[in-house]
Structure 1
Amino acid sequence: MQAKGTDDVDLRVRRRLRELRTQRGMTLDEVASKADIDVSTLSRLESGKRRLALDHLPRLAAALAVSTDDLLRAPAAEDPRVKGASQTHDGVTYWPLTHNGPAAGLHAFKIRVSARRRTPPSEFPVHDGQDWMYVLSGRLRLILGERDFTIKPGEAVEFSTWTPHWFGTVDGPVEAVAIFGPHGERLHLHA
């Protein structure tokens, strides 16, 4: 039977391993390759289906560019609050609702669409991804290709961003929650 202290160290290293790997945006394959460990072994180490061997520590630490001591230390207690300044672009203010970490590449925002954003541009953007919006207040105008929609509070929309699209207001400001893939985030916030 394993001693309680050994179980604690194993659990701590598993959590720390996953934390460091995801912070660096590395896949299991990448870490396994750099550590010269089979990817299935690494997956079982992270999931707790395999016990950590001492010879794994230096190789995993090197693969993650940390010291062995850093791999053994307890993960920092993360502040769960999302902090980030709002950004305004083209009449839409975006407040981040997710960290920039691994949320499957998705980023959530609370958005406020200015009442002045009422006239669509001559050309609508097209890009990789999927966008999703839930209207909290106001009436959102959404143009998808040749179709023109009015989205009311309590309604949600989801659409492929390969369809030419634009959103604005009908008759006053709109507040909504939006989820964009990384391509959509870049387009909406940095275009």
Structure 2
Amino acid sequence: MTQDCDASTDTNIDALVRSRIRALRLARGWSLDTLARRSFLSPSNLSRIETGQRRIALDQLVPIARALDTTLDQLIESPNDDDVVIRPQRNEQRGATIWTLARERTPFEMSVAKMRITTPAPPTEELGVHPGRDWFIVLSGTAELRLGDRLILVEAGNAAEFSTMIPHAIGAHDAPVEILAILSHDGERAHLAPAKGTTEPETSTRK
């Protein structure tokens, strides 16, 4: 029974890889001849690969992936529902609920997160710094952006970008605020990691 399940899974992934190759080729407007020339394979071999008439070999997938400007991992990765549903992480001490939207690090070492903040920005003496720049847009409510001694109110629809070498923090003004933030690697560690003295954020479906 287990062998049957494994065979079925392999077949499904194989079919998915073939469809990805064809879809990526067509999205670029390439003929079989074009992809064949770029991947140093024959058009007939590519045709049989796409239609399932030929078993896909690793030494064929590598040049195909390179020609399509993707990676071998992306071509063969198995679909998983865990990569679709993004569950919130709550941290009561920070007064924030966070949805991390970028699951993989981007080429520029940035991450994207939606944040719901319920507490005001902390006082100046509690602010932190880290290298880089942060950016956020307010989806609803009004955000308090504390930069050193300044308190800047950022309303819904407005965005803010600032040097994170200035002591800073983001809070909610009068009512909960929701923001979409783009953070550097250092910004992610500063703003998305658990607050000092706490454990990892509790996974919850509550908002």
User: If the length of structure 1 is used for normalisation, what is the TM-score?
Assistant: 0.60
Q: Distance in 2 between matches of 1:96 and 1:118?
A: 21
| 1:121-148, Cα deviation, whole Å (9 max, x unpaired) | 5231110122111101111111112322
Corresponding residue number in structure 2 for 1:97: 101
Is the CA contact 1:139–1:151 (under 8 Å) kept in the aligned structure 2?
A: yes
Q: What does 1:83-94 align with in structure 2 at a 5 Å threshold?
A: 83-88=86-91, 90-94=94-98
Is the 8 Å Cα contact of residues 124 and 148 (structure 2) preserved in structure 1? no
Q: CA 1:119/1:83 → structure 2, altered by over 3 Å: closer, same or farther?
A: closer
The superposition leaves residues 44-79 of structure 1 with CA deviations (integer Å, 9 ceiling, x where unpaired) of: xx3479xxxxxxxxxxxxxxxxxxxxx79x513545
In structure 2, give the amino acid aligned to 1:76. E
**Gaps spanning 5+ residues in structure 2: where?**
1-32, 34-41, 50-55, 196-207
Give 1:75-90 correspondences, 5 Å limit. 75-78=76-79, 81=84, 83-88=86-91, 90=94
Give CA deviations for 1:10-60 in whole Å, capped at 9, x if unaligned.
7732465xxxxxxxxxxxxxxxxxxxxxxxxxxxxx3479xxxxxxxxxxx
RMSD, aligned α-carbons: 3.0
Q: Distance in 1 between matches of 2:145 and 2:76?
A: 44
Report the residue type matching 2:154 in the other structure: I
Corresponding residue of 2:137: 134
Aligned to 1:32: none
TM norm structure 2: 0.56
**Residue in structure 1 matched with residue 187 of structure 2 by the alignment:** 184
Work out whether residues 120 and 144 of structure 2, in 8 Å CA contact, stay in contact via their aligned partners in 1. Answer: no
User: Can you give the 5+ residue segments of structure 1 that lack an aligned partner in the other structure?
Assistant: 17-45, 50-70
1:125 aligns with 2:174: no
| Counterparts in 2 of 1:83 and 1:176: CA distance versus 1, 3 Å | same
Return the alpha-carbon distance in structure 2 between the equivalents of residues 85 and 113 of structure 1: 12
Tell me which residue corresponds to 1:21: none
Can you list the C-alpha shifts for 1:79-115, whole angstroms capped at 9, x where unaligned?
562535424251121111111343532111110111x
Q: Secondary structure at the match of 2:138?
A: strand
- Look up the equivalent residue of 1:186 and give its one-letter code: R
SS at match of 2:76: coil
Q: Does 1:4 align with 2:44?
A: yes
* Percent sequence identity over aligned pairs: 33
